[in-house]
Chains A and B, each alone.
Chain A
């Protein structure tokens, strides 16, 4: 299922977060959004998922333009794993099935069938607090997959992990995404992660986010993560992305991060007297 956005803008009150973004992801493509922290990447992802509506512009996910339609097509994996501490790993993974009205036994059977493949066999009954960070992320990803949506929206899936488990999990996720062949939109602040996981990387500027560059990840990549990231083509792509990122992050006087001289303030009318 494809994702297509044209001229997306979004603002929180007077604070503009997105500025005329064009974004496309073909069926089965993995697109990564990279940008400085706080640039509006997560807002863009929430708009794709139908959790938010843009202030201007149009977006379609599998032909659905309204928020409810987009929500029906997208599964969202948040930055923190957000496993519900009162449910077991298995019940967390099966959440989407239960939400759709499946019985407990049926939902557990269906989600449990995937535990082995994700290296979670034997941990079905464990509470999230008993799992390591990497395992929690795997349960969170499994929960997203079990939802069976054609589009996956991953918001910095490994930001909360230490460097070693992050590298390990990136290798694992690359394999899982290849095996699944679903469309995925991935947000990251880590260029290496983005280039390694995605087919295409979109580099965003600091707030309000504009697209400053689009790069195709070197193809084919070595299946082994360490070999892939040291490949000369990969290193060159990483440097190009890094340059674009730095250019986009530097101050742009036409788009101040914090707006000044606002035309109208609602509650802070006392400021008018002070000026």
Chain B
């Protein structure tokens, strides 16, 4: 019952909001209230129409942006995980590297992206680097905290059961850290699209942000809304898939 409600309620809420907007836009209330030409305030039906008619163009640009997000996420998570594990095994490495990771995190994407565009051009490289940099910090910090939260008594118990350092990591530390890792992954997944769009803003020849900028200049408002809808869907899917992965992996809670 609860599981059904968790799907039905948000869908009903979104449907209701779209319905309201449809009425307000098609009757011209919003345009009138804002003192605008009606074509600047597209109704959901017009947005849907724009998405359908421009599906090839939208899909091509969506694919560009989605690829940036996914490759950047993958790179950031792999590097972040590897670094967190390495820092767990070596105190010296942790002491040496941790301040640097904080420093990297402190430099805003808006600042670093234009510089990287000068170095690497308009291609996917800059976007992947920027997304990976933004993603890597929550992964490292959360995973490392998770690894450090291991029960010292459990480690003692494993030592008397002839566990090697690696066996302790694999059977006790890594499973202990998984929930914290997934907390980091959820933050990472929520941040990645925003950062990818910023990177496209700094310099790109294709992608949803590029399209939004063009449509903005040409007053293609309905298609702009279409891009926004697609981005919202990507965001929901990414967070949803991460939550699903967490449920499938962490079965003991």
Task: Using CB atoms and an 8 Å cutoff, list the residues of chain A in contact with chain B.
Answer: 46, 49-51, 71-72, 74-76, 78-80, 82, 84-87, 95-96, 98-100, 127, 129, 143, 147, 149, 153
Contacts and interface: CB of A to CB of B under 8 A. Distances in A.
A99 B164 contact: yes
A75 B161 contact: yes
B175 A99 contact: no
B159 A71 contact: yes
A51 B156 contact: yes
Nearest to B172: A84
A80 B153 contact: yes
B245 to A, nearest CB: 16
A153 B161 CA distance: 12
A46 B161 CA distance: 14
B229 interface: no
Interface in B122-157: 151, 153-154, 156-157
B252 A99 contact: no
B163 A46 contact: no
Contact of B154 (A51, A71, A84, A100): A84
B171 A100 contact: no
B252 A127 contact: yes
A13 B160 CA distance: 25
Contacts of A80: 153
Contacts of A149: 160
B161 to A, nearest CB: 4
B95 interface: no
A129 B160 contact: no
Contacts of A95: 158, 161, 163, 171
Interface of B: 151, 153-154, 156-164, 167, 171-172, 175, 251-253
B167 A99 contact: yes
A143 B161 contact: yes
A85 B158 contact: no
B62 to A, nearest CB: 38
A46 B164 CA distance: 18
A126 B158 CA distance: 21
A169 B237 CA distance: 51
B175 A76 contact: no
28 contacts: A49-B160, A71-B160, A72-B162, A74-B160, A76-B156, A76-B160, A78-B153, A78-B156, A82-B151, A82-B153, A82-B154, A82-B157, A84-B154, A85-B252, A86-B252, A87-B171, A95-B161, A95-B163, A98-B171, A99-B158, A99-B162, A99-B164, A129-B252, A143-B161, A147-B161, A147-B162, A149-B160, A153-B160
Nearest 7 pairs of A and B residues by beta carbon: A76-B160, A96-B161, A99-B163, A85-B252, A86-B175, A86-B252, A99-B167
A33 to B, nearest CB: 17
Contacts of A49: 160
B32 to A, nearest CB: 60
Contacts of B162: 72, 96, 99-100, 147
B171 A76 contact: no
B178 to A, nearest CB: 8
Contacts of B156: 46, 51, 76, 78
Contacts of A72: 162
A51 B159 CA distance: 8
B175 A84 contact: yes
A87 B167 CA distance: 14
A123 to B, nearest CB: 16
Nearest to A70: B160
Given A51-B156, A99-B158, A147-B161, 16 more contacts: A46-B156, A71-B160, A72-B162, A74-B160, A76-B157, A82-B151, A82-B153, A82-B154, A84-B175, A85-B252, A85-B253, A86-B175, A86-B251, A96-B162, A127-B252, A147-B162
Contacts of B163: 95, 99
A66 B193 CA distance: 56
Contacts of A76: 156-157, 160
Contacts of B160: 49-51, 71, 74-76, 147, 149, 153
A49 B163 CA distance: 14
